[in-house]
Amino acid sequence: MSGQTTEISAATAVLPEPRRRPRRSKHRPAWEGRPSVGGQALKVVVLTAVVLAVVFPLYTVILTSLSTQAETIRVGGLVTVPGELTFNAYTQILGGGTVTRAALVSTFITLVGTVLSTTVSVMGAYGLSRPGSFAHRPILFVFLITMFFGAGLIPTYLLVSSLGLINSYWALILPGAVSAFNVLILRNFFMGIDVSILDAARIDGAGDWRILGRIVLPMSRAVIAVVALFYGVGYWNAFFNAILYINDNAKWPLQLVLRSYVLQGVTLPGSGVGQVDVATGAVTGLPIKMAVMVLAIVPILIVYPFVQRHFTKGVIFGAIKG
């Protein structure tokens, strides 16, 4: 069976572009048969259910963030039917100027961190991707260990402190810069690349740097985009390191600042005195929490399409040919 398929794939390269026939779905290639009605219906049902299961809660979250606190108290939780709408939660969060500043900080950390992490990981993964290369097994083991043995809070803090990184943005980037998991994923994809192409390049005199840059990278855009997304999301959402390492509140990243809006208006234990009470007149409660949740998703919404672009079938082929 497998032999037969090899021949098919060998034949592929010389096949002309498939011609499109009229009166068929304009996206369905000519060679693909018409699906059965039952199968098609099932597909529609499943996908609709999946989408609804996501969209409805999302809708209530957004609606709640746009409602007044009185409205959330009236219904006793998340709002599902639009009542009195207001942008109060958003204006309060975005109004102070702290959030805008923190968003810049987070953008900087995320950009620098993602570029650094992705570069280091791609290089590391490629460096480990050739079967039988020097010491690759012990090195892989070095990566693997870090997935299962963590370090405590205090030793890590002492390290960062003794490196003089307290209050530095590097303290938010370097400690988590390499994820062994991401390196393994990249390596897995790199190893899927046809060895013959690499060998051919090597015979042509290309070094490993050149092979990585000219062949492996263009062929792996999808997985690199995914790994970059993983890193980016990680940096964007991280807040705990900032709690430990950043004393200067003006340097707080966005997630930390947003979190502080969720804490607003909490009573101090046993004191009987709400600490921010008459004085600030701040909005509290569910709408704020939900607005924070919505704001946290927005950057992902912006970035995701760029990642998704690389999922399109055939991109890789084009890259190789080009």
Partner 1 sequence: MSLSELVRRRPPVTPGEAPPPAPAPTRTIGWRVRLKRDRSLLIMVTPAILLLGVFAYVPMLGNVIAWQSYSPYTGFLHSPYVGWVNFERVFTNPLFVNAVENTLIITAFQLVFFFPIPILLALLLNSVVTPGIRTTIQSIVYLPHFFSWVLVVTVFQQIFGGAGLINQTLRDHGLGSGFDMMTNPDTFLVLITMQSVWKDAGWGIIIFLAALSTVSPELYEASAVDGAGRWRRMWHISLPALRPVIILLLILRLGDALTVGFEQLILQRNAVGAGVSEVIDTYVYFQGVVYGDWSFAAAAGLVKGVVSLALVLGANKLAHVFGESGVYKRA
Partner 2 sequence: MNATPTFGRLGDHAVDRRRFLGLIATGAAVVGIPGLLTACSTSPTPSATNPAAAAGDVIPKYIPVTYIDPDYPSVNGSVPGYESIPAELVQSVKDAPGTGVVYTAMTPLWGTIPPTKGNKYYEAVNDLLGSEIQFQITDGNVYGDKLATVLASAKDVPDWVSIPTWNLPPRFGSEIVENVFQDLTPFLAGDKVTPYPNLANISSDAWKFCVFNGRLYGLPFPGEVITDAIFYRRDILDGLGITPDVTSGQDLLDLAKELTGGSVWGAEDLWNTAAIIHAVPPKWKLDGDALVHRVETEEYRAALAWNAELFASGAVHPDAVADLSGEAKTRFQSGKSLIANDGVGGWHEAMRDNLASNPEYWQQPFDPFAADGGTPVLWKGNPANIFSFLKKTDDEDKIKELLAMANVLAAPYGTTEYDTINNGVEGVHYTRGADGLPVPTDLAATELQPTYIFLVDPPLSETHVQYPGYVKAASEWKAKAAEYTTDPLFYAQQIVEPQQYASIGQPFVDLEKDISRGRKSLDDLDAAVEEWRASGGDELRAFYQDILDQQS
Nearer to partner 2, 117 or 198 (CB): 117
Task: Say which amino acid occupies 237.
Answer: N
Q: Which residues 226-245 are close enough to bind partner 1 by CB under 8 A?
A: 226, 229
Options 101-109, 153-161, 242-250, 263-271: segment touching partner 1 (CB under 8 A):
153-161
Nearer to partner 1, 78 or 112 (CB): 78
Closer to partner 1 by Cβ: residue 31 or 278: 31
Positions 263 through 322 that interact with partner 2 (CB under 8 A): 263-282, 284-286
CA 232 remoteness from chain centre: 5
Task: Give the Cα separation of 140 and 135 in Å (integer).
Answer: 9
Q: Which region among 24-32, 91-99, 104-112, 268-276 touches partner 1 (by CB under 8 A)? A: 24-32
- What token pair was written down for 296? 């946290």
Q: Which 262-301 residues touch partner 1, going by CB under 8 A?
A: 293, 296-297, 300-301
Instruction: Quote the least distance from Cβ 276 to partner 2, whole Å.
Output: 5
Interaction pattern, residues 175-214, with partner 1; x per rule: CB under 8 A: xxxx-xx-xxx--xx-xxxxxxx-xx--x---xxx--x--
231, 117 in Cβ contact below 8 A?
A: yes
| Binding to partner 2 in span 70-89, by CB under 8 A | 70, 72-77
In the complex with partner 1, the residue whose CB is nearer, 42 or 277, is 42
Considering only CA atoms, give the Rg of the chain: 26
How many residues interact with partner 2 (rule CB under 8 A)? Answer: 82
Which lies closer to partner 2 via its Cβ, residue 113 or residue 299? 113
Token output for 34:
């018409």
Tell me which of partner 2, partner 1, none is bound by residue 165, counting a contact when its beta carbon lies within the kind-specific cut-off of 5 to 8 angstroms.
Answer: none
Bridge partners of residue 267, in order along the sequence: 274
Identified binder of partner 2 from the candidate list 261, 290, 291, 295, rule CB under 8 A: 261
Which is nearest to 89 in space by CA: 255, 269, 274, 261? 261
What sections of the chain are H helices per DSSP? Answer: 2-12, 37-65, 69-75, 88-95, 98-127, 136-148, 153-162, 170-173, 180-191, 195-203, 208-211, 217-219, 221-237, 240-245, 254-263, 286-308, 315-321
Burial 13-25 (b: 16+ CB within 10 A, else e): eeeeeeeeeeeee
Instruction: Return the amino acid letter for 288.
Output: I
Sign of CA dihedral 177, 180, 186, 187: positive
Pick the closer one to partner 1 by CB: 281 or 314: 314
Tell me which residue of 99, 100, 92, 83 sits closest to 285, measured CA to CA.
Answer: 92
Would you mind telling me the total number of residues written for the chain in this entry? Answer: 322
- 316 near 221, Cβ under 8 Å? yes
Measured from the CB atom, the residue of 21 and 27 that comes closer to partner 1 is 27
Retrieve residue 264's tokens: 């607003």
Q: What's the closest the beta carbon of residue 95 comes to partner 1, in angstroms?
A: 23
Site for partner 2 in 159-218 (CB under 8 A): 161, 166, 175-176, 179-182
Interface with partner 1 in residues 244-263 (CB under 8 A): none
> Nearer to partner 1 by C-beta: 95 or 192?
192
52-71 residues in contact with partner 1 (CB under 8 A) are 53-55, 57-58, 60-61
